[in-house]
Chain A
Amino acid sequence: MTETNTISGNRGLQVEEPLIFEMGCEGRSGVDLPDPAPVDLDRLGGVPRRGKTGLPDLSEPQAVRHYTRLSQKNYGIDTGFYPLGSCTMKHNPRLSEKVARLPGLADLHPLQPQQTVQGALEVIHTLAHWLKELTGMPAVAMSPAAGAHGEWCGLMAIRAAHEDKGEGYRRRILVPESAHGTNPASAAMCGYSVESIPAKENGRVDLDALKAKLGPDVAALMLTNPNTCGLFESEIIAIAQAVHGVGAYFYCDGANFNAIVGRVKIADLGIDTMHINLHKTFSTPHGGGGPGSGPTVLSAALAPYAPVPYVIESAGGLELVEGARAGTKPFGRVKGFHGQFGVFVRALAYILSMGSDGLRQASSDAVLNANYLLACLKDVVSASFDGPCMHEALFDDRFLKESGITTLDFAKALIDEGYHPMTMYFPLVVHGALLIEPTESESKETLDQFIAVVRGLAARARTGEAEGFKAAPRLTPRRRLDETLAARTPVLRWKP
């Protein structure tokens, strides 16, 4: 490949950009503020700031250009196909952004008198209603801030329920080996020990192995469904019965709810609690890593332990309950204020736009797209399981055997072709996993082009072009980065 050397170091639209700390110059400002009235600093408890913060001074045009240039070094869903399995990278509707910015919703303080925020409470209440109807569950805790936070919330409700029944001795949680790492981590935060249960050849939980591990000291099973291999747990009802049979609860990790919205009623599967990632299933922006939102539905047995706050209908309108109420035993509070309200607005806008018919169609299209990719790739890329899959298709690195190319190399080559890679090396239950989740947002044309590219790369891999793969990506603002250096000699902040 020939490189054009430039004087600036920039290459067309690939522009080098320093840190803000390397651009600042005292005497500039990007904000004009009125001059404060001179005040004595004797009201500051004897500890006024001494010395400068060290923050750089920039003007507005410099700041705007800086962030614009940085944004151009990012790949987003708006940029192109982003088949990151398990992460559900679907289109983020712009109407959701528009309504979330209405001053009547955005410029509200959480502690205003409740009579002045009835519309905001209606947003929460309406969204809660949809989540309950879509799952068939009687209650939902709206406040968890993300999926992992919702897992913890569900487990806290389980622990509280067992303690209340005098069964606090239940301390074991069973988790399939294919689970997200958050599952065991959340269990540990509730004082539970974690045991892994194996999968069968077909990628589903081994029911006999599960039964062998169940006992009177088991608090719950945590099961992702559809599971992290993109498969529906076909024996789920028998699993739920076995779990309930020993007095344990069934926690479902709802990370993959987007595959089955409007097609499966969660309550009918025997699930006691499940978190819902609004940022996945209901298309709120991932924003480079958050904010998420993880409302957690609860069965009748667990509902009394739901954390505060929550919204109820009362004589005077909607009421935000912030403390214990007769007949309930909330296990506590999981975060400040009332949940990720800004995310609620966006999720509800998506839900109202799609409606019950659209949500069902979205699940169907997501599953159809994944099965189409599976069908069109499985003769050249080794599929871990036979179809049908749900919303994502799992492949492994058997097709790369003897090529000297790893899953990582293959993924990096996709970057040069203009795609964000699939999820790699997760789930851990297959070797060199490649997990592809197309979502319902992609057209057949996009999928066909992607299929052609993957087939082309697979053909190249077979003919032994390892060096080309090892050198990828070549066309990005930065090429492969040295993660060992970063971890051995951590530089975690700018220093003068």
Chain B
Amino acid sequence: MSDKRFTKDHEWVSVTGTTGIVGISDYAQHALGDVVFVEVPDAGRVLAQGAEAAVVESVKAASEVYSPVSGTVIAGNQAIVDQPGLVNESAEDRGWFYKITLSDPSELGALMDRAAYDSYLKTLE
């Protein structure tokens, strides 16, 4: 089991070996409201940390998903493209956005763990 690491922009990444799974946090899906559209990156795309990787839209808001880590995309999650509501139902599990091969695992050190993210969320209230 891997632990999730979070960004201040509410992305998470969960890493096993050098493979990461990226999504948006439950807080983020709640803030957006009903998700109606997502765009996920194609396999093979090379992303730098912080680069625009995906798009998520609700009825009244649109937001970019920034890659929490650098690497090469393995696959986007077609399930959320077909059924965007999955992001609301299961943001931190089945509603993941893409899988990525990390090129620099040391980047993870700068991301927040769950406890740090939770206290960060408290500062936003």
A and B directly contacting (CB within 8 A): yes
Residues of A within 8 A of B (CB): 483-484, 487-488
A436 CA to B82 CA in the complex, in Å?
41
Contacts of B1 in A (CB 8 A): none
> What is the distance, in angstroms, from B87's C-beta to the closest C-beta of chain A?
12
Give Cα distance in the complex from A488 to B84, angstroms: 8
Contacts of A484 in B (CB 8 A): 34, 36, 58-59
**Other than the known A488-B84, A488-B85, what 12 A-B pairs have Cβ atoms closer than 8 Å?**
A483-B59, A484-B34, A484-B36, A484-B58, A484-B59, A487-B36, A487-B37, A487-B57, A487-B59, A488-B34, A488-B36, A488-B37
| B84, closest chain A residue (CB) | A488
| B88 and chain A: residue at smallest CB distance | A484
CA distance A487 to B84 in the complex (A): 11
- For B58, what are the chain A residues with a Cβ–Cβ distance below 8 Å? 484
A488 and B58 alpha carbons, distance in the complex (Å):
9
Top 4 A-B pairs, shortest CB-CB distance: A487-B36, A484-B34, A483-B59, A488-B36
B6 to chain A, nearest CB (A): 25
Which residues on the A side are within 8 Å of B59 (C-beta)? 483-484, 487
Interface size class of B (residues with CB under 8 A): under 10
Could you name 11 residue pairs across A and B whose Cβ atoms are closer than 8 Å?
A483-B59, A484-B34, A484-B58, A484-B59, A487-B36, A487-B37, A487-B57, A487-B59, A488-B34, A488-B36, A488-B37
Q: Which residues of A have CB within 8 Å of B34?
A: 484, 488
- The chain B residues found within 8 Å of chain A, CB to CB, are 34, 36-37, 57-59, 84-85
Separation of A487 and B60 alpha carbons in the complex (Å): 10
Q: How far is the CA of A487 from the CA of B57 in the complex (A)?
A: 10
What distance in Å separates the Cβ of B36 from its nearest Cβ neighbour in chain A?
Answer: 4
State in angstroms the CA–CA spacing of A488 and B36 once bound together.
Answer: 5
Residue of A nearest to B85 (CB): A488
CA distance A483 to B61 in the complex (A): 13
Return the chain B residue nearest A484 by Cβ: B34
Residues of A within 8 Å of B85, CB to CB, are: 488
Shortest C-beta distance, A428 to chain B (Å), equals 11
A487 surroundings in chain B (CB, below 8 A): 36-37, 57, 59
Give the residue name and chain of the A residue nearest to B34 (CB).
A484
Chain B residue at minimal CB-CB distance from A489: B36
Which one of B37, B59, B84, B85 has the highest number of Cβ atoms from chain A below 10 Å of its Cβ?
A: B59
Report the bound CA distance from A484 to B87 in whole Å. Answer: 14
Docked complex Cα distance between A50 and B76 (Å): 43
A435 CB to closest chain B CB (Å) equals 17
Which residues in B have their C-beta under 8 angstroms from that of A488?
A: 34, 36-37, 84-85
Chain B residues with CB under 8 A of A483: 59
CA distance A425 to B44 in the complex (A): 40
Q: How far is the CA of A483 from the CA of B33 in the complex (A)?
A: 12
In the complex, what's the smallest C-beta–C-beta distance from B7 to chain A, in angstroms?
21
Kindly list chain A residues whose C-beta atoms are within 8 Å of the C-beta of B37. Answer: 487-488
Q: What is the minimal beta-carbon distance from B63 to any residue of chain A, in angstroms?
A: 15
* Bound complex: CA A488 to CA B87 (Å): 13
A484 vs B58: C-alpha distance when bound (angstroms): 8
**How many Å lie between the Cα of A487 and that of B35 in the bound state?**
9
Given the complex of chains A and B, what is the CA–CA distance between A488 and B33 in angstroms? 13
A484 to B32, CA, bound (A): 12
Task: Return chain A residues, CB-CB under 8 Å to B57.
Answer: 487
Rounded to whole angstroms, the CA-CA distance of A484 and B37 in the bound complex is: 10
Q: With CB as the reference atom, state the residue of chain B lying closest to A488.
A: B36
Distance of B89 from chain A, by nearest CB (Å): 13
Give the residue among B34, B37, B58, B85 with the most A Cβ atoms within 10 A: B34
CB distance from B86 to the nearest CB of A (A): 11
- Smallest Cβ distance from B124 to chain A, in angstroms? 13
Closest beta carbon of chain A to B19's beta carbon, Å = 30
Residue on B nearest A425 in the bound complex, by CB? B60
- Rounded to whole Å, the gap between the CB of A381 and the closest CB of chain B is 23
Q: In whole angstroms, how far apart are the Cα atoms of A487 and B36 in the complex?
A: 6
Query: What is the bound-complex CA distance between A239 and B37, given in angstroms?
Result: 41
A483 to B, closest residue via Cβ:
B59
Chain B residue with the shortest CB-CB distance to A487:
B36
Among B36, B84, B85, max chain A CB count under 10 A is at B36
**Nearest A-chain residue to B57, judged by Cβ:** A487
Instruction: Report the Cα distance A484→B84, complex, angstroms.
Output: 11
Complex Cα gap A487–B58 (Å): 8
Nearest chain A CB to B39 CB, angstrom units: 14
Q: How far is the CB of B56 from chain A (nearest CB, A)?
A: 13
Residue of A at shortest CB range from B33?
Answer: A484
